[in-house]
């Protein structure tokens, strides 16, 4: 039985998917339903030629080609086989490659699972907590995994949703948090009632209160007269007594407004500590549950919580996460290896961007952590070796991601000066491995990459892969660029983190020629901007910051820019330049002849006095391999990645010349070229002529 489905160009064959033979018949990475993106199982429809599969229920689901939806009342939504954009669903925020309902004018997407959720208008919700109307959703079928803006905990059970607050600032509120009393009496403030507010009042920039210390962004009960704020976490989840395995005595809540320094994390508190009468310790509630042993991707060994309060027992050190001094008279995490002096503040090591929440058991064998260089973790087989001094080097290898053997080249050039590494897509340089039968190149370092590897940019262990999205490319979550070639991705649950090889080679510290001091990695630079491109950094962005606390930050995209680039009219290399002392009339690009922003980085040749925008010098697609094909829903044929040097035809959309990298449809019926940035407009252009 066959089915011609709107989402695929070929007929789909009805078959029964057997999980036990998935490795023989279907690529496990491809065995996802392209409607709902859940694993294929049982009776399904599929096109084995394209590795395209649909559950029977998804294929036979009667979906209206156009709907009016309460989450987007301004315009009708049109059913598409997949999203036109790289962002997530405007309801749940998840990236998704299945069916979507789309509003082209507003760039609004609803995944099919979210579009089918039942909702009702919520009446009488207090405007003081949120200004927009809300929808009540009884059952979201685990489609939503954002945090509640009230209690800051993951959404579970019934909740309220605001359709006016979409990606990246969702408003999904637990039913329990929405129904809290607007005013309470509390023993921490016996003079006045506390009023419920949607966010903490503004505090001084360097305030050290508990709210600012934990960066609480949720609802608070507040008294403006006494300058006192109580988070929902303290109000809802503070039992009178807490007993934990890591401490032999019970902890008793002191429900009072009082100043103290937490004996575990060393930071200030202003109310409601927990007290151990036997040990005479005051601690924050959240510090009671600090685990004894943890692993973080920033260090290769287990680190252990240490809190010895004897005078001068251990010298103070520098926290290897925030690069500020660690006062060892309070708790901290230290490396348990005898020859390692790694140390971190308790709150830095257990930050949710740093630590994945896994607790190491007592007596854990650390040798099992050293996975990077184990033989089972390599994807290369040595075919032949040569001796260079006392060192044995693999001169011929068989790599898991190529069908032919690869031979090592120590010096010289390839036949094609534009050759790129198939691992990192950067220009090929020695030493490298190459295939004598086809144009396949790998830098020696890229050929020796391990299968699994931790990285400080992400809290989970990452796995090497050479698979891209169906379009033929991937999106790096660190530098925010499209790329091809190898990548490391996270296979933990629904985590979609993926990073290209160039970013993978960076560590948690950086010495960059643009700044006099060393830089360290930070995971939350919200409210600041990159000093190179001046783009605003958002919560969760990875960036580098000055260790000396200068007002200097670098996002990963700018930190990974090549220090030199080439321009077709210049025989000299262009140098990445960080400031410009030229006259304002000279602030223009010698390639596109458009103005340059005076405070932005640019590429410059001092010999020829040529200045170029960053993208004009390295191209819009610097990490895509020339000649490779990519597919996009905006056009029925695949595009070829090309580089125009002398013959520069006009872009089909904007009509400006495609100088440098571009996308070309080489089919005889099309035969056009388009800028990368014009792809979205190409879809609109094709709709206009339908």
pLDDT, tens digit (0-9, with 9 covering 90-100), for 551-565: 899 999 999 999 998
In this prediction, residues 245-272 reach a mean pLDDT of 88
Give me the pLDDT at residue 556, please.
94
What residue has token string 């976490």? 233
Minimum mean pLDDT range among 98-102, 295-299, 336-340, 351-355? 336-340
User: What does each C-alpha distance from 291 to 249, 328, 446, 520, 673 come to in angstroms?
Assistant: 16, 18, 37, 25, 57
Give the contacts of 162 (CB within 8 A, at least 6 positions apart). 130, 132, 133, 134, 135, 170, 171, 172
pLDDT digits (tens, 9 = 90+) for 281-311: 999 998 998 988 999 999 988 899 887 655 5
CATH topology of domain 2-60: Wheat Germ Agglutinin (Isolectin 2); domain 1 (3.30.60)
Cα Dmax for the chain: 84
d(CA 576, CA 71): 46
Q: How many residues does the chain have?
A: 690
Give the pLDDT band of residue 24 (cuts 50, 70, 90): very low
Give the contacts of 62 (CB within 8 A, at least 6 positions apart). none
What residue has token string 């251990």? 314
- Quick one: how far is CA 357 from the chain centroid? 18
Does 315 score more than 90 pLDDT? no
Question: Rounded to 5 degrees, what angle do the CA atoms 289, 213, 287 make?
Answer: 10
pLDDT digits (tens, 9 = 90+) for 183-239: 998 888 888 999 999 888 877 766 666 676 677 888 999 988 888 888 888 888 888
Give the pLDDT band of residue 446 (cuts 50, 70, 90): very high
Does 29 score more than 60 pLDDT? no
User: What does each C-alpha distance from 223 to 75, 179, 189, 321 come to in angstroms?
Assistant: 43, 20, 8, 35
d(CA 197, CA 129): 6
Does 348 score more than 80 pLDDT? yes
What the block records as the tokens of 380 is 């290369």
In this prediction, residues 450-460 reach a mean pLDDT of 92
Give me the pLDDT at residue 526, please.
67
Of 308, 244, 306, 241, nearest to 275 by C-alpha is 241
> Which class would CATH give 626-689?
alpha beta
- Element housing 288 (H / E): helix 285-288
d(CA 382, CA 278): 61
Give me the pLDDT at residue 28, please.
41
SS3 state at 79: strand
Does 18 score more than 80 pLDDT? no
d(CA 666, CA 564): 32
Of 61, 96, 90, nearest to 77 by C-alpha is 90
What the block records as the tokens of 630 is 């990519």
In this prediction, residues 345-353 reach a mean pLDDT of 91
Q: Are 543 and 510 in contact (CB under 8 A)?
A: no
Give the pLDDT band of residue 314 (cuts 50, 70, 90): low
> Which class would CATH give 509-560?
alpha beta
What the block records as the tokens of 414 is 């390839």
d(CA 591, CA 588): 9
Give me the pLDDT at residue 518, please.
94
DSSP 510-561: E--TTSSS-EEEEEE-TT-B-TTT-PBP-EEEEEEEETT--S-EEEHHHHTS
Q: Are 84 and 102 in contact (CB under 8 A)?
A: yes
Domain boundaries, the chain: 2-60, 69-179, 183-202+212-237, 241-288, 291-350, 379-448, 452-505, 509-560, 564-618, 626-689
Minimum mean pLDDT range among 69-73, 80-84, 594-598? 80-84
Give the pLDDT band of residue 20 (cuts 50, 70, 90): very low
> Which class would CATH give 564-618?
alpha beta
d(CA 25, CA 166): 40
Give the pLDDT band of residue 685 (cuts 50, 70, 90): low
SS3 state at 603: strand
Does 549 score more than 90 pLDDT? no
Which CATH number is correct for 241-288, 3.90.550, 3.40.50, 1.10.3470, 3.30.60?
3.30.60
Of 511, 503, 579, nearest to 546 by C-alpha is 511
Which range, 25-29, 61-65, 547-551, has the best average confidence (pLDDT)? 547-551
d(CA 305, CA 300): 16
What's the distance, Cα to Cα, between the start and end of the chain in Å? 32
Give the pLDDT band of residue 333 (cuts 50, 70, 90): very high
In this prediction, residues 72-86 reach a mean pLDDT of 85
Question: Is there a shared CATH topology between the 241-288 domain and the 564-618 domain?
Answer: yes
Give the pLDDT band of residue 138 (cuts 50, 70, 90): confident
What the block records as the tokens of 401 is 């991601």
Does 26 score more than 80 pLDDT? no
In this prediction, residues 605-631 reach a mean pLDDT of 87
């Amino acid at each position: 039985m066959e089915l011609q489905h709107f989402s695929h160009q070929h007929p789909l064959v009805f078959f029964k998917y057997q999980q036990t033979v998935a490795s023989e018949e279907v690529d496990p990475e491809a065995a996802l339903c392209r409607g709902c993106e859940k694993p294929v199982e049982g009776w399904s429809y599929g096109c084995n030629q394209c590795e395209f599969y649909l559950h029977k229920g998804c294929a036979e689901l009667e979906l209206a080609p156009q709907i009016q939806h309460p989450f987007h009342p301004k315009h009708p939504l049109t059913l598409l086989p997949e999203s036109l954009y790289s962002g997530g669903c405007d309801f749940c925020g998840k990236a998704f490659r299945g069916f979507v309902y789309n509003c082209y004018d507003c760039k609004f997407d609803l995944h099919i699972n979210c579009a089918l959720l039942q909702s009702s208008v919520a009446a009488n919700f207090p405007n003081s907590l949120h200004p927009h109307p809300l929808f009540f959703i009884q059952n979201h079928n685990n489609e939503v995994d954002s945090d509640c803006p009230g209690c800051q905990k993951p959404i579970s059970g019934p909740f309220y949703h605001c359709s006016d607050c979409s990606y990246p600032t969702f408003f999904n509120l637990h039913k329990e948090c929405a129904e809290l009393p607007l005013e309470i009496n509390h023993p921490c403030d016996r003079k006045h009632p506390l009023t419920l507010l949607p966010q903490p009042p503004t505090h001084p920039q360097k305030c050290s209160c508990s709210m600012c210390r934990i960066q609480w962004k949720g609802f608070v009960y507040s008294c403006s007269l006494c300058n006192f704020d109580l988070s929902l976490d303290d109000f809802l989840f503070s039992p009178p007594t807490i007993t934990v395995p890591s401490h032999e005595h019970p902890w008793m809540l002191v429900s009072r407004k009082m100043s103290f320094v937490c004996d575990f994390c060393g930071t200030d508190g202003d109310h409601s500590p927990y007290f151990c009468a036997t040990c005479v310790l005051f601690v924050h509630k959240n510090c009671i549950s600090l685990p004894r042993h943890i692993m973080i991707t920033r260090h290769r060994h287990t680190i252990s919580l240490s809190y010895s309060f004897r005078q001068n027992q251990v010298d103070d050190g520098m926290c290897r996460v925030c690069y500020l001094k660690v006062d060892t008279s309070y708790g901290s995490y230290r490396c348990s290896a005898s020859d390692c002096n790694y140390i971190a503040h308790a709150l830095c090591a257990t930050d949710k961007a740093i630590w994945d929440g896994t607790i190491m058991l007592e007596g854990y064998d650390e040798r099992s952590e050293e996975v990077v260089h184990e033989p089972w973790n390599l994807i290369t087989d040595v075919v032949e070796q040569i001796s260079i001094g006392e060192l044995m080097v693999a001169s011929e290898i068989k790599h898991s991601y190529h069908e032919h053997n690869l031979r090592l080249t120590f010096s010289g050039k390839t036949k094609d000066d534009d050759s790129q590494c198939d691992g990192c897509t950067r220009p090929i340089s020695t030493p490298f491995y190459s295939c004598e039968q086809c144009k396949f190149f790998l830098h020696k370092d890229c050929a020796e990459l391990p299968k699994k590897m931790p990285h400080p940019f992400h809290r989970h262990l990452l796995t090497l892969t050479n698979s891209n999205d169906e379009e033929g490319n991937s999106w790096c979550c660190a530098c925010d660029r499209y790329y091809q070639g190898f990548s490391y991705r996270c296979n933990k649950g629904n985590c979609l983190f993926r990073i290209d090889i160039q970013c993978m080679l960076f560590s948690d510290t950086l010495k960059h020629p643009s700044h006099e001091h060393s830089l360290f990695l930070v995971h939350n630079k919200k409210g600041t901007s990159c000093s190179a491109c001046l783009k605003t950094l958002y919560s969760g962005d990875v960036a580098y910051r000055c260790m000396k606390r200068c007002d200097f930050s670098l996002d990963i995209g700018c930190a990974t820019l090549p220090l030199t680039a080439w321009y077709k009219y210049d025989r000299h290399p262009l140098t990445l330049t960080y400031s410009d002392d030229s006259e304002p009339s000279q602030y223009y690009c010698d390639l596109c002849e458009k103005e340059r922003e005076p405070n932005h980085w640019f590429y410059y040749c001092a010999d020829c006095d040529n200045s170029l925008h960053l993208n004009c010098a390295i191209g819009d697609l610097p990490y895509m391999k020339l000649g490779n094909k990519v597919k996009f829903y905006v056009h029925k044929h695949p595009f070829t990645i090309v580089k125009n040097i002398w013959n520069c035809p006009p872009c089909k959309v904007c009509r400006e010349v495609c100088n440098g990298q571009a996308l070309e449809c080489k089919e005889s019926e099309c035969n056009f070229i388009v800028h990368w940035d014009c792809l979205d407009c190409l879809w609109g252009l094709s709709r206009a002529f339908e």
